[in-house]
Structure 1
Amino acid sequence: MSTSIEARTEASVAAGVQAAIAAYAHALDAGRNDDIAELFQPEGVAEIAGVATFEGRDAIRAGYAAFAPTRPQLHLVANTVITSWTEDEATAVSNLAFFQRDDSGWAVQLVGRYDDTLRRHDTTWLFQRRVTTFLP
């Protein structure tokens, strides 16, 4: 019986983490900075390695305004692995590819990875810390 409960809990955690990661990508691509900020815990941290670190929702909202899309863009997030979890906190790592479209079509602009720590807030999972690293 405990295996079944554990599996449901693990599945629930994974679903919540995946939902937060997907919501972030959609909000980022649409330039919805308020939505991005709300995906973080109030004291959450968004670090873009080598670029900037934003601490707290107000700083995240203001910081991401500088990254507002000027043309169609798409973040594809894949290969997410939950590296540790409890009922209230999880860590995950994901690969990302960032595309932009211009007159000649879609092109990869960069690739990287996300290292995330998320915490449950009521029934929703929010980022406590998200580190974005771009790969050479």
Structure 2
Amino acid sequence: MNTSIEARTAADVAAGVQAAIAAYAHALDAGRTDDIAGLFQPDGVAEITGVATFEGRDAIRDGYAAFAPTRPQLHLVANTVVTSWTEDEATAISDLAFFQRGESGWAVQVAGRYDDTLRRHDTTWRFQRRVTTFLP
């Protein structure tokens, strides 16, 4: 096995996964529900533990419309680890902190974790399943 090819492939997968995760955070904070839905596979699932599960792009778009921001918000995603991968599928975990700006400035509203399964479509990685869990 050529380790330089394997490393390049692992790096490419990690970069694609990171790009999907970052695009999701930016779209969510801007309230761009069409963009959020487009980051999922057509039969993708977005599960917000204890809140709702949306299956398919239309349901994801409609479901996220209920969470559209009414004031400035920011999702910070960190500590992303690709936990397994093949050429066309990857799993990853990430920590998240959700901030909103109020009268006294920015404040953390919730912290949590993303558990993701992504599939590659052509050269773009899209979520097959994204599970959001908020920490108590």
Please classify the TM superposition score into its range, dividing by the shorter chain length.
Answer: over 0.9
Partner residue in 1 for 2:2: 2
- In structure 1, the residue corresponding to 2:68 is in which secondary structure? coil
Shift of 1:103: 1.4
Q: Give CA-to-partner distance per residue, 1:34-68, whole Å, 9 cap, x none.
A: 00000000000000000000000000000000000
1:110 is aligned to 110
- Relative to the length of structure 2, the TM-score reads 0.99
Q: Does 1:39 align with 2:62?
A: no
Q: Distance in 2 between matches of 1:47 and 1:118?
A: 14
Question: Which residue matches 1:59?
Answer: 59
Deviations 1:6-34 (A, max 9, x none): 00000000000000000000000000000
Q: Which runs of 5+ in 1 are unaligned?
A: none
Offset at 1:91?
0.1
RMSD: 0.6
* Structure 1 consecutive aligned stretches of length 4 or more whose deviation exceeds 4 Å: none
Q: What is aligned with 1:123?
A: 123
Deviations 1:51-94 (A, max 9, x none): 00000000000000000000000000000000000110000000
Tell me how many residue pairs correspond in the alignment: 136
